[in-house]
Structure 1
Amino acid sequence: MRRIRAEESGHGLGRWPRVCMRLDLREDGAVPAGPPRVTIRAAHERDFPGFLGLAAQVEQWFGPMVEEAGFHDAVRAHISRSMALVAVSSGPDLLGGLLFGAEPPAHHVHWLVVSQRARGTGVGRALMAEATRRWVRGPGHLEVVTFGADHPGAAVSGARVFYERLGFTPAEATGPGPEGGSRQVFRRTVG
């Protein structure tokens, strides 16, 4: 997951700048059995607890979010602006969530998390594809901030490889994450 300073996007997340992560490995090291039947849709207020559930799964990397009012406000603001997506299946929990911002020609992934049980099954790719379809208009660029190459989570999370496979290239370093770890902008030209 990665964080972007709020002033970079113009969408204030307060203490919770854009945080984006994609983990491809399950914590137990197992390969997921196969892709669940997934629907990507616009997030609704009723999905708010699901966003908190996703955040709880990644707090070890990024610090507290579940109890942070700024994070709550950011999620609700993205939902109310129709700039949030969720991945759902037949179960009660969200498989993934994405918060997005667009100020053409710049488009920003503010937060992307895939649930532990759905990592490595294409849910992150599906969320990114739907966000791009809905909100990205070219010419311009799409940005996301993830772990710096020297961050302990860089290899374990799979985030850098995930974004590179989607056509992003590493760009400039940015401010550290809330835990003090390095972060780097990844960018892809669109249109």
Structure 2
Amino acid sequence: MVDAPGFHRAVEEHIRRSTALVAVDSGSDLLGGLMFGGKAPTYHVHWLVVSQQARGSGVGRALMSDATRRFVRGPGSIEVVTFGADHPGAVASGARVFYESLGFAPAEATDPGPEGGSRQIYRRTVA
């Protein structure tokens, strides 16, 4: 993704708008990051990544919780595009299970990702 056209520009824009969050450990090592956007009633997780060594430790959950607290004013919904059920990365990444554990539900299919493969919108209602 880092090599995808426009990725660095998107990161810079989210930093300027203060809608980029990062998680670091006590030694200042980067554990994860999130780019968030949208406005009521529909918000978007544009990008969420957790380092391999930090997966399963609550970093992704903490980033999502912080983003929701900072940026979401209900009622509305939060949407994220992730791997489709038939995509090879769906199981390997754990993304679908992760979002479901946060109360997101699979919704409609969307355009394939930059490397190909199916994508699906996941949506969570917020009060």
Which of 56, 70, 82 is 2:18 aligned to? Answer: 82
Give identity over the alignment, percent.
74
Amino acid at match of 2:73: R
Partner in structure 2 of residue 13 of structure 1 = none
> Cα deviations across residues 88-111 of structure 1 (Å, max 9, x unaligned)?
112343100000002210000000
In 2 relative to 1, CA 119–153 (structure 1 residues): closer, same or farther, beyond 3 Å? same
Q: How does 1:67-106 map to 2 (within 5 A)?
A: 68=4, 70-106=6-42
Scaled by the length of structure 1, the TM-score of the pair is 0.64
Which of 107, 124, 127 is 1:188 aligned to? Answer: 124
Partner in structure 2 of residue 157 of structure 1 = 93
SS of structure 2 residue aligned to 1:95 = strand
> Cα deviations across residues 13-42 of structure 1 (Å, max 9, x unaligned)?
xxxxxxxxxxxxxxxxxxxxxxxxxxxxxx
Q: How does 1:54-69 map to 2 (within 5 A)?
A: 64-66=1-3, 68=4
In 2 relative to 1, CA 150–69 (structure 1 residues): closer, same or farther, beyond 3 Å? closer
Of residues 78-87 and 92-101 in structure 1, the stretch that sits farther from structure 2 once superposed is 92-101
Which of 122, 125, 148 is 2:84 aligned to? Answer: 148
Q: How far apart in 2 are the matches of 1:97 and 1:91?
A: 16
Partner in structure 2 of residue 111 of structure 1 = 47
Partner in structure 1 of residue 63 of structure 2 = 127
By how many angstroms is 1:117 displaced?
Answer: 1.1
Q: How far apart in 2 are the matches of 1:167 and 1:152?
A: 23
Q: How far apart in 1 are the matches of 2:95 and 2:69?
A: 21
> Cα deviations across residues 143-163 of structure 1 (Å, max 9, x unaligned)?
001000000011111100000
More strand by share: 2
By how many angstroms is 1:69 displaced?
Answer: 5.6
Regions of 4+ moved over 6 Å: none
Amino acid at match of 2:43: H
